[in-house]
Structure 1
């Protein structure tokens, strides 16, 4: 069977276009993926983290969500400058990532606010205490020992009347702000009870389910 040269050329042209579009789409995806990473900490930004947290929650009914706010970050930033503040944020991101390990996803919402989702709430209280201790460890910056604390609030999905990411973030947010102002250097943590979501949810962390 003889193939007409014009048809062969058309097929090759179509194949080249398809390959070109595939390469272009791949580059766009990688660029978009990078844009969802915080350049300072390497953590997922709000959009990238939300997508991954939604997947974790769909697959793991016993997932847990936490919010962490660094206590004492502003005085460090004001006294020692933005480079020192950036060093503290970068260290917090690295420690949160290590703490999550292969069973969680960490993110940075902005400023000194961090977020994470775990696929299992087993030993959550102990794990939160470990995280608080990690975040309290001094950060070495040009010979300075920079120290901050952390207020951490968490919510178990299984304990919520509405087991969604939005509800979990609202409950964790309320738990965190009950701790904040009453503790020093993250020495106390609060796990959100199920009734927390019956109050009005915080709009700052409401994310589309």
Structure 2
């Protein structure tokens, strides 16, 4: 009987040691998970869930390295967005931005870099071979013209201007140069109802922080994402 009791005591002591050791490990695990979630959240825009500027830049450069000349940079600017905020409320504007973000994510696919640069402006870097480029951009413009239904049932007519710069056309894989060219193309075709594709000349236009000189919001480029 004594031997049985001593064996049970040893088992109980070991179990206590294991439990005691597991407690701090569990605490660190919870802390690590919480920290990871906070870091992941810091990389994303809180409204749309799209990548913020730094995370977008890192992902975009990965896409450029992976796909080379088949890569394109696409910039999107919501048309008449101020009118939505002014006449329907900022809450309605938020719904429109979230809808646009969801559409861009669905269109670009999981391997693309999709970002909200700030306000109603977005950027995508993705694989887009020349043979599919025209069709893909036309699909994007069509998606962005689908009306958005608000929580109260109201329907908002929406549209967006789209500018794109492809590595094989512009002649570079430099992200900043491609963004500059795409931005110039976007404003060249503003409110045209179709995507505007940059030529190599667009990359040489004067710019401020990577955006066409004189266009609205140039001072904000890179500050908010």
Q: TM-score range by the shorter chain?
A: 0.7 to 0.9
Length-normalised TM-score, structure 1: 0.81
What is residue 119 of structure 2 aligned with on the other side? 111
Q: Over residues 165-193 of structure 1, what are the superposed CA-to-partner deviations in whole Å (9 max), with x where a residue is unaligned? A: 1111010000001112xx35xx1221001
Deviation at 1:157, TM superposition (A): 1.4
Match for 2:57 among 33, 50, 60? 50
Q: Over residues 139-174 of structure 1, what are the superposed CA-to-partner deviations in whole Å (9 max), with x where a residue is unaligned? A: 111121101211100000122233211111010000
Match for 1:100 among 108, 116, 141? 108
Is residue 200 from structure 1 mapped to residue 200 from structure 2 by the alignment?
Answer: no
Counting only pairs closer than 5 Å after superposition, residues 12-161 of structure 1 correspond to structure 2 as 27-61=34-68, 62-122=70-130, 123-141=132-150, 142-161=152-171
Q: In the aligned structure 1, how far is the partner of 2:176 from the partner of 2:26?
A: 40
Judge conservation of contact 1:167–1:201 (CA < 8 Å) in 2.
no
Report the aligned-residue RMSD: 2.6
Q: In the aligned structure 2, how far is the partner of 1:103 from the partner of 1:145?
A: 31
SS at match of 1:60: helix
**Which deviates further from its counterpart, 29-38 or 43-52?**
29-38
Judge conservation of contact 2:177–2:210 (CA < 8 Å) in 1.
no
Q: In the aligned structure 1, how far is the partner of 2:114 from the partner of 2:137?
A: 14
Judge conservation of contact 2:165–2:199 (CA < 8 Å) in 1.
yes
Aligned length: 192
Q: Which runs of 5+ in 1 are unaligned?
A: 1-12
Length-normalised TM-score, structure 2: 0.76
Deviation at 1:25, TM superposition (A): 5.7
Q: Which runs of 5+ in 2 are unaligned?
A: 1-20, 212-220
